[in-house]
Structure 1
Amino acid sequence: MLKRLSLLFSLMWFPTLISAQATEVNPPNFIKTITFTSNTPESQLPIFRLGEPLRLQFDALTTNEEDFYYKIEHFNYDWTPSNLVQGEYLRGLDNQRIRNYLNSLNTLQMYSHYDLRIPNENTKGFLKSGNYMISVFDDYGELMFSRKFMIFEDVVAVSAQVKRTRDLETIEEKQIVNLTINTRDVLLNNPLETVKTMIVQNNNLKTAITDLKPQYTLGQELIYRYDQESSFWAGNEFLFFDNKDLRAATVAIQFIDLKDIYHNYLFTNENRSEQIYTYWPDINGNFLIDALDRDNVNVEADYVSVHFSLKIEELKNEDVHVYGNFNNFTPDEETKMTFNQERGVYETELLLKQGFYNYKYVTLARDGTIDESATSGNFWQTENNYKVLVYYRDLGARYDRLIGYGEASSVNIRN
């Protein structure tokens, strides 16, 4: 009887275990500047066409020339593990050492730059489209970090249009994304159940809207004209700084100091939530590594201690963080700011590789809620980038194909 109860308990819990959603793990503080690149290196959102090469790069700020290994897994559209075995989605082997690395050259901060390219001699490429996770381990099998990426097939055409919300309560603060999927004469069985969508704002998977169903069909087109369900807070333009020249102050850098490494002190930023909207071009939270008069910025760009400060009243129930794609839009202890009573500002410093960076300040509530509006506001005019992914699982299929990809910008927003 006891064995039967134990077996029943295991069966009850087994579906929960296998259906857990995958989450990304951020690296320890000695691993920096994780980037995915392909044919669109400025994106920083790893979406690749099936057959395109993948390139993952990162720096280890140690002097030991550490060994790192990578593992690749396939997932369903909702980031639960798929039913495919590795041989069905991967040509070749993973769990291999990253062999391509170089040590930094003529830098104050020493580091090793690791460069994983797929296909390579061990991992030949990918056989299936869909959601993937790449995990990097050290020599002891300890997980260092993991990152999501997506591989799509160009099966259907995806178009998107950004509009102001029709909700009068948030018409000044929100944007909505309308979708049209053209099936191109491809028969999609029962699209209400088999077609899934994901909309990503500014390359941030953590705020993505998923699983919208088509509202109606017009010929070969699946039409999505939602309001509330496909609406995003518009936010504000990202702040920026450029420190490709270590010894020159810029429009964002107030002054520079040289200690053990270079320190860049940014001008103090103001609370923009109560100011009027002002447009200036940004790269929607991304970053680009760059250094003046360097042949290979991967190993010749130096690391700089960048000092941030925000003038805002002290908050009692929320923490303030620096926020951007430089750390995968993840508030943590490193990005957390402290309040300087004498100056009346929040302050922190981050060790970042030379380049051009976008960033914002956000508040983090005790329940984990991230809010941009408290320090930046929400303005319907904000230029945001939206990416749309379309998944399809045919009747009887064992995994979700990623069959379409589209993109839109609110620079041409309509009322």
Structure 2
Amino acid sequence: MTFRSLYLICLLLIPVLTFSQVTEVNPPDYIKTIAFRGDTRESQLPILKLEDYVILEFDALNGDEEDFYYKIEHFNFDWTPSILVKSEYMDGFDNQRIRNYENSLNTYQIYSHYKLTIPNLQTKRLKVSGNYLLSVFNDDDELVFSRKFMIYEDKANVGVSIKRSRDVQFIEEKQRVDIVISSNEMQLNNPKQNVRTLVIQNNNLNTAISNLKPQYTIGNKLIYKYDTESSFWGGNEYLYFENKDVRAANIGVQQVDLQDLYHNYLFANTERAGKPYTYNPDINGNYLVTNIDADNPNIEADYVWVHFSLIANEALKDKSIYIYGNFNNYAIDESTKMIYDEYNQVFTNALLLKQGFYNYKYVIVNNSDDIEEGAISGNYYQTENNYKVIVYYRDLGARYDKIIGLGEGSSVNISN
């Protein structure tokens, strides 16, 4: 191969490398309990106002007290890198060491708890709205994990209402999101090209619906009243357990055992699809670290092996079933895969989790890697789900996608 042909191949590859969409990287086994939030108790996917702070917390279970560093990058609506240089979106510096950490106290599992708050003395301010990625690296500059977050400017009003599906086939199973966007502060020019939306159910980017176009306008209002395009499966309320006292059986915990660490055995779950809907209050897949005997659960809550079990029927035996929830940012990997026990006809798995209150459900991953959330839990229009609508805007000649508004709604008041 000549130098000229090699050069041409490199030129062809550069756009692919430059404009590829970024995805979140999940952590290795020794990094646990990543909590990423703004000023709320929700522990993943911060969506915060410009000038607000964002907090990242996580535990390292290797006992090495190693150093971690963070970097912040700005992205377009579609999660391709924006053309802004760092000084245009950040006041201060990143690639700094996470200086705030504490070691665990009175726990069987030794760990170090790290906490990063932005803004801080080094990273003084994030100056523009839009999509951001926070990446954590180790001493060898190896990527450990990354998390997405969004910053918005409050320049548009975003009305969100949740309706039942108009499609008779799915009227009992789906929920649709109606949106009304208006602004008294700015003119939304050419909205079908310049305004983009992202609709998120329960802070889960895996199932988000992106880039809906306004169907029509009334005055300065953009109206979105889609049926299928803005519909989500209703799902079911999450299952849950609480083990803030590891020494005694608690909500959802059937049996407790102490070996090298505490082991909590949950009550066996059964398939809920096809059964009548039952209201069961949850926190929409989230989790909360807590310890009944601790002043500071961040370093005094212990790690526990939590044993899950799902009673199998004939239809489930050959399926790939996973434990699903915000405890690991809805990631599907080998650690959450259920193992089928032929003798007892039950699926089982054990996860090392920090003490607290956890929501979870079981999902099926099919051969094309699609996640079927309702295959085991069922889909019901009555299910209480949280929805967020993020509005992006890039005017003619602008160099990045602003986020100009955030709307939120709940299906607790779902209507026809």
The two structures have a TM-score, normalised by structure 1, of 0.97
- Structure 1, unpaired ranges of 5+: none
Does residue 1:262 correspond to 2:262, yes or no? yes
**Structure 1 residue 40: Cα displacement:** 1.1
**Structure 1 residue 409: Cα displacement:** 0.3
CA distance in 2, matches of 1:2, 1:223: 57
**Structure 1 residue 366: Cα displacement:** 2.6
Does residue 1:163 correspond to 2:163, yes or no? yes
The aligned counterpart of 2:413 is 412
- Partner amino acid for 1:195? V
SS in 2 for 1:88: helix
Q: Deviations over 1:193-250 (max 9, x none)?
A: 0000000001101110000011111112110001111000111100000111112212
Q: Deviations over 1:6-42 (max 9, x none)?
A: 4443333322222211100110010000011221123
SS in 2 for 1:326: helix
In the alignment, is the contact (CA less than 8 A) between 1:338 and 1:348 conserved in 2? yes
What pairs up with 1:139-154 in 2 under 5 angstroms? 139-154=139-154
What pairs up with 1:260-299 in 2 under 5 angstroms? 260-299=260-299
Tell me the C-alpha RMSD between the 2 structures.
1.4
CA distance in 2, matches of 1:209, 1:110: 41
CA distance in 2, matches of 1:15, 1:394: 24
Q: Which moved more, 1:116-125 or 1:353-362?
A: 116-125
**Structure 1 residue 156: Cα displacement:** 0.3
In the alignment, is the contact (CA less than 8 A) between 2:45 and 2:148 conserved in 1? no
What pairs up with 1:3-402 in 2 under 5 angstroms? 5-42=5-42, 44-313=44-313, 315=316, 318-402=319-403
- Partner amino acid for 2:330? F
- Partner amino acid for 1:152? Y
In the alignment, is the contact (CA less than 8 A) between 1:185 and 1:220 conserved in 2? no
Q: Deviations over 1:360-403 (max 9, x none)?
A: 00011232111122211111111110001000011101100011
- Partner amino acid for 1:38? G
SS in 1 for 2:115: strand
Number of residues of Structure 1 aligned to a counterpart in Structure 2? 415
In the alignment, is the contact (CA less than 8 A) between 2:39 and 2:54 conserved in 1? no
In the alignment, is the contact (CA less than 8 A) between 1:289 and 1:356 conserved in 2? yes
**Structure 1 residue 105: Cα displacement:** 0.2
Once the two structures are aligned, what percentage of the paired residues are identical? 60
SS in 2 for 1:162: strand
CA distance in 1, matches of 2:172, 2:43: 28
CA distance in 2, matches of 1:88, 1:117: 20
- Structure 2, unpaired ranges of 5+: none
CA distance in 2, matches of 1:25, 1:251: 32
- Partner amino acid for 1:370? I
In the alignment, is the contact (CA less than 8 A) between 1:318 and 1:366 conserved in 2? no
CA distance in 2, matches of 1:309, 1:211: 39
Q: Deviations over 1:278-330 (max 9, x none)?
A: 01110000001111021111000111110000012364653111000000101
Q: Deviations over 1:100-120 (max 9, x none)?
A: 100000000000000011111
The two structures have a TM-score, normalised by structure 2, of 0.97
Q: Deviations over 1:122-177 (max 9, x none)?
A: 11120110000011111111111000000111010111000111011111111100
In the alignment, is the contact (CA less than 8 A) between 1:129 and 1:150 conserved in 2? yes
In the alignment, is the contact (CA less than 8 A) between 1:317 and 1:366 conserved in 2? no
In the alignment, is the contact (CA less than 8 A) between 2:156 and 2:404 conserved in 1? yes
- Partner amino acid for 1:93? F
Q: Deviations over 1:26-79 (max 9, x none)?
A: 100100000112211235331111100111000000111011111110000111
CA distance in 2, matches of 1:239, 1:102: 32
CA distance in 2, matches of 1:55, 1:247: 31
CA distance in 1, matches of 2:250, 2:41: 25
In the alignment, is the contact (CA less than 8 A) between 2:44 and 2:329 conserved in 1? no
CA distance in 2, matches of 1:28, 1:94: 23
